[in-house]
Amino acid sequence: MQTDQTTRKLHTILIQLAKRQDELAATEAAATRYWAPCPPTVLGDRTAATLLRAEADRLATAS
């Protein structure tokens, strides 16, 4: 069914986006000196990744 394919594709895209957000956060956190405060964008990227995964999970369980 077309809807199932679309749902699977969207799930895959959401997971890929979440992974990219995690990578961005990790890269920026690694570039930050240990004595410096963590940039707010790291928290933002991690939060975005969490929300993207939650939406992917919700989508997977709804179908």
pLDDT digits (tens, 9 = 90+) for 20-57: 999 999 999 999 999 999 999 999 999 999 999 999 99
Query: What is the value of pTM for the model shown?
Result: 0.88
Question: How many residues in the chain?
Answer: 63
Neighbours of 47 (CB within 10 A): 12
Q: Provide the 3-class DSSP secondary structure of residue 38.
A: coil
Q: Which residues constitute the domain of residue 12?
A: 2-29+37-62
3-state SS track over the chain = CHHHHHHHHHHHHHHHHHHHHHHHHHHHHHCCCCCCCCCHHHHHHHHHHHHHHHHHHHHHHHC
The single residue listed with the structure tokens 């969207």 is: 10
